[in-house]
Amino acid sequence: MSHPELNPILHNQAPVPLLVIISGPSGVGKDTVLMRMREFGMPFHFVVTTTSRGQRPGELEGFDYNFVSKAEFETMIANNDLLEHAVVYGEYKGIPKSQVRDALASGKDVILRIDVQGAATMRKLVPDAVLIFIVPPSSAELANRLRLRRTESAEGLEQRMALAEAEMGRVDEFDYVVMNPESRPDEAASMIQAIIRAEKSRIRPRRIKL
């Protein structure tokens, strides 16, 4: 008898690929942890965001972002080609559906990072995604990370901290919480890997429909 909803591992077949969403307050270390996962060569597809903003020195097309013009981005919106998009500081940012679809079709697990607001949208669009919330050891440590990054003015820092407080209150919309400990982002990276491995062993796997 066949049980198509059960884990294909039971029939010695490849597991169902996952869509994993990494979120959490600004400055908690999402990019840092994802970069460590990439550097470790973890076998996932890391989604590259498409943006209309200009390429900065040192940024690589297809690695940091896919750079397109505003007009091209607006065509993508009109054609419903994006899973999710937002305007950040007057520029578009979004996730192309085709990239996620193609990676899943090739059997790869797909990982993407998104802000807390965007994660809530994704939960509605793709209810079977695995949502992981990264937290700092303390809010003092979060403020410290933002300060050390030196990308924010004093006012910007205060705004981000206030937003972070509000975002921490939304943790119950997520499936997992992962701590990014002081100076040990590798631990957060391996915890995410452990979650993905455990998810692969579900008797009834999550199945992503886009």
Ligand X SMILES: Nc1ncnc2c1ncn2[C@@H]1O[C@H](COP(=O)(O)OP(=O)(O)OP(=O)(O)O)[C@@H](O)[C@H]1O
Which residues are at the interface with ligand X (CB under 6 A)?
26-32, 145, 148-149, 180-185
- How far apart CA 196 and CA 122 sit, in angstroms, is 18
In whole angstroms, the minimum distance from the beta carbon of 62 to ligand X comes to 19
In whole angstroms, the minimum distance from the beta carbon of 143 to ligand X comes to 11
Decide whether 33 or 126 has the Cβ nearer to ligand X.
33
Closest CA to 177 of 133, 113, 126, 130: 133
In whole angstroms, the minimum distance from the beta carbon of 161 to ligand X comes to 12
In whole angstroms, the minimum distance from the beta carbon of 148 to ligand X comes to 5
Hey, what are 204's tokens? 């009834």
Query: 187, exposed or middle or buried, with CB in 10 Å at 0-12, 13-18, 19+?
Result: middle
Decide whether 45 or 93 has the Cβ nearer to ligand X.
93
Decide whether 49 or 180 has the Cβ nearer to ligand X.
180
Decide whether 145 or 206 has the Cβ nearer to ligand X.
145
What are the start-end ranges of the E strands in 124-204? 130-135, 176-179
Amino acid, res. 132: I
In whole angstroms, the minimum distance from the beta carbon of 194 to ligand X comes to 17
Decide whether 147 or 204 has the Cβ nearer to ligand X.
147
Query: 15, exposed or middle or buried, with CB in 10 Å at 0-12, 13-18, 19+?
Result: middle
